[in-house]
Amino acid sequence: MTRSVYVTGIDRGDGRQVVELGIMELLTRQTGRVGVYRPLLHDAPDRLFELLRARYRLDQDARTAFGMDYHEASVVLAEKGTDELVSRLVDRYHRAARDYDVMLVLGTDYAETNLPDELALNARLANELGAVVVPVVGGTKQTAESVRAEARNAYRAYESLGCQVVAMVVNRVAKTDRDVIAERLAARLPVPCYVLPDDKSLSAPTVAQITRALGGEVLLGDEAGLARDALDFVFGGAMLPNFLNALTPGCLVVTPGDRSDLVIGALAAHTSGTPAIAGVLLTLNERPAPHILEMAAKLAPGTPVVSVAGNSFPTAAELFSLQSRLNSATPRKLETALGLFERHVDTAELRDLLSVTRSERVTPMMFEHELLERARTDRRRVVLPEGTEERVLRAADVVLRRGVCDLTLLGEEQQVLKKAADLGIDIGAAQIIDPATSPLRERFAEYYAKARAHKGMTVELANDVVTDVNYFGTLMVQEGLADGMVSGSVHSTAATIRPAFEIIKTKPDAAIVSSVFFMCLADQVLVYGDCAVNPDPDAEQLADIAIQSAATAAAFGVEPRIAMLSYSTGTSGSGADVDKVRKATELVRERRPDLAVEGPIQYDAAVEPSVAATKLPGSDVAGRATVLIFPDLNTGNNTYKAVQRSAGAVAVGPVLQGLRKPVNDLSRGALVQDIVTTVAITAVQAQPTAP
């Protein structure tokens, strides 16, 4: 029977989307077959469903994701009564739920509806669906005592109507009240109550949203600039010195279009980072002269300058009424929301309360979520040498918002900060170090000169070598100032891993350094090794790669079943290449009899049960392999790229294994999410329990 989780509220304005998003994150960590159902919908398409479908790669048809619209519900209620309304909504739920292991049900929103007693309707629906219930209470502009009272009343209301309330969430409370409210509710409620503080950036509209709402025209700015959050509004009317003192981080400057001095002053402040602003909104349909706009474009490239027709007063009234809502066009808000949820909710406890049985097969989404969760449980510090690269900064923003790990960015500090400000992202929690001016430079030069003295290295030469960001980052890891390093988005693999070979070196039990790719296919994650480091390993080395790869797979939740790949299966072929794989397989069995391994075996027999039944009947690995070991780099590298491009797989890696401390390389075509995932993998590798 399909399990369902019903997220509901007691009134509008509770910021429930944060909770719905957070619970969806938990559900998709447990199973790859999650559906969504909203009993009542205002207008199609459902914005939140489209967000969830895109983010969590749901294959659900949007038509099955809601019961009916509010107008139809009002008609049914008036003509047929509550029982008929509930019956139709439940019937439509079951038609959708039959294809999924678990359903996330999104309760009514209490906004401009003609339905009497929505709380009772939500409770009735939850009971009819057999759903566990998570009520959400909003705390905006309420005292701590009123929030506590409202939460207790909400619990009693749903519990008295027969609902199985497994947890409560109080959302958007004042940060100063959060701990007190959490402590007192813990003593007053029989179920866990998670209290989330208000985060201004979640409700702050982006410059793009403001532009659309006011019918503005973009005079300057790029897509990244328009995506910035307007955290505050500063209205320009004072003389420039006083005006500059009024600027706040992330503010949108609102000024008449003829005040060129304020426009240039605000953009100059942004460029210097004192402070970085969201953009400039010009009123009265006045525009600066062309030469002023040209100067502005050069002064702060990408920063939006928008013109609107109204004067400042009605513009201000509209601005203060705008609030952002989570959608697929605001990815940074999604990361902020998830980070907020994960910091203040005991996700392990809530996951158990929701009682969703974990799937045996690890899907790509489950792999990714579990990875981030494991990284957060024991936070490590990862150094990113490419601190001025746009993709790296965007990834750093996500990592910091989600609380995945602590970060150090390498690069000239003002250059890093300016680049981040231009992109409209917040890296304030990251440490920034410039290798050229850091006090660590001398210490690292002495260490490196001593370590490489046998190669003729001197302190004078080393003083230059260690300013290379990859050498500097590797030395930070070696000296315990960072737990791991990720580089390679603009550096070659050799430039990234050579310092690790020279400085960190291999583990005592590792014969060589090798690599794996986590290949995230449509419905499972496979591990490919070695596709990046060793050109032509011998049988001993191949066995070592297999054992290392199995350990890496197990460490990241993939049960290792090893296929030692060849162009021949079983005893059907012979020759030097097949014999090498056969010997390597025997060595793995000798060294690790606990591992499931098969070889030599062809790729199709390794992964396809029907082929395995013909070629290797009775094998525990054939048709079910999760760790695929290629005989050489040529085969492995070409295969992973072929699968990546032809099957649309996401290839995470190469993840290096065998080093004493984790250093990982990125593809130079790595996307932001690839970098986030690799950083999380590195953080997990650095944890004391990692192999």
Q: Which of 329, 286, 323 is nearest to 305 (CA)?
A: 286
pLDDT value for 629: 94
The pLDDT tens digits for 156-204 are 999 999 888 999 999 998 888 888 888 888 888 899 999 999 888 888 8
Cα–Cα distance measured from residue 541 to residue 549, given in angstroms and rounded to the nearest whole number: 12
Token pair 């619970």 is found at 23
The pLDDT tens digits for 53-90 are 888 888 888 888 898 888 888 888 888 888 888 888 98
CB atoms within 10 A of CB 2: 18
Cα–Cα distance measured from residue 417 to residue 437, given in angstroms and rounded to the nearest whole number: 16
The pLDDT tens digits for 10-28 are 877 788 889 999 999 888 8
Whether residue 257 contacts residue 284, with contact meaning beta carbons closer than 8 Å, is answered with: yes
Mean pLDDT of 572-595: 88
Q: Confirm whether 3-198 and 363-493 share one CATH topology.
A: yes
Mean pLDDT of 509-524: 83
Q: What is the 3-state secondary structure (H, E, C) of 295-309?
A: HHHHHCCCCCEEECC
Its CATH class, for the domain covering 205-321, is alpha beta
The pLDDT tens digits for 629-663 are 999 999 989 998 888 888 777 788 788 888 899 99
**pLDDT at residue 396 greater than cutoff 70:** yes
Strand order in the sheet with 561-565: 596-601, 561-565, 627-629, 525-529, 514-520, 650-657
For 521-543, b/e burial (b = at least 16 CB within 10 A) is beebbbbbbbbbbbeebebebbb
pLDDT value for 365: 66
pLDDT value for 42: 83
Distance, first Cα to last Cα, the chain:
38
Beta strands in 132-278 (DSSP E): 132-138, 164-165, 168-173, 193-197, 217-220, 232-235, 251-256
- List helix spans (H) across 388-452: 390-402, 413-423, 440-451
Crossing angle of the two packed helices 16-30 and 331-344, in degrees rounded to 10: 80
The pLDDT tens digits for 314-363 are 787 788 777 777 766 677 788 888 888 988 999 888 988 887 555 555 66
pLDDT value for 196: 92
The CA distances from residue 177 to 10, 138, 142, in Å, are: 21, 13, 10
**pLDDT at residue 482 greater than cutoff 90:** yes
Q: Say if residue 501 is exposed, middle or buried (CB neighbours under 10 Å; 0-12, 13-18, 19+).
A: middle
CB atoms within 10 A of CB 676: 24
Structure tokens given for 511: 């014969």
**pLDDT at residue 113 greater than cutoff 70:** no
Write the DSSP string, 236-273.
--S-HHHHHHH--TTEEEEEETT-HHHHHHHHHHHHHT
The CA distances from residue 103 to 165, 514, 604, in Å, are: 16, 41, 35
pLDDT value for 250: 87
Token pair 């399909």 is found at 2
Cα–Cα distance measured from residue 238 to residue 578, given in angstroms and rounded to the nearest whole number: 81
CATH number of 508-658: 3.40.50.10750
**pLDDT at residue 242 greater than cutoff 90:** no
Q: Calculate the CA 249 to chain-centre distance.
A: 24
Whether residue 396 contacts residue 430, with contact meaning beta carbons closer than 8 Å, is answered with: yes
Domain ranges for the chain: 3-198, 205-321, 363-493, 508-658
Mean pLDDT of 212-228: 89
Write the DSSP string, 625-671.
--EEE-SSHHHHHHHHHHHHHHS--EEEEEEEESBSS-EEE--TT--
pLDDT value for 570: 74
Its CATH class, for the domain covering 363-493, is alpha beta
**pLDDT at residue 573 greater than cutoff 70:** no
Q: Which of 301-310, 437-446, 506-515 has the highest mean pLDDT?
A: 437-446
Whether the model clears a pTM of 0.95, i.e. scores above it, the answer is: no
For 342-352, b/e burial (b = at least 16 CB within 10 A) is bebbebeebbe
Considering only residues 648 and 527, tell me which one the structure prediction assigns the higher pLDDT. Answer: 527
- List helix spans (H) across 452-597: 459-465, 469-478, 493-503, 539-555, 576-591
Cα–Cα distance measured from residue 212 to residue 225, given in angstroms and rounded to the nearest whole number: 15
Q: What is the mean pLDDT of the chain?
A: 87
> Domain 3-198 classified CATH 3.40.50.300?
yes
pLDDT value for 589: 94
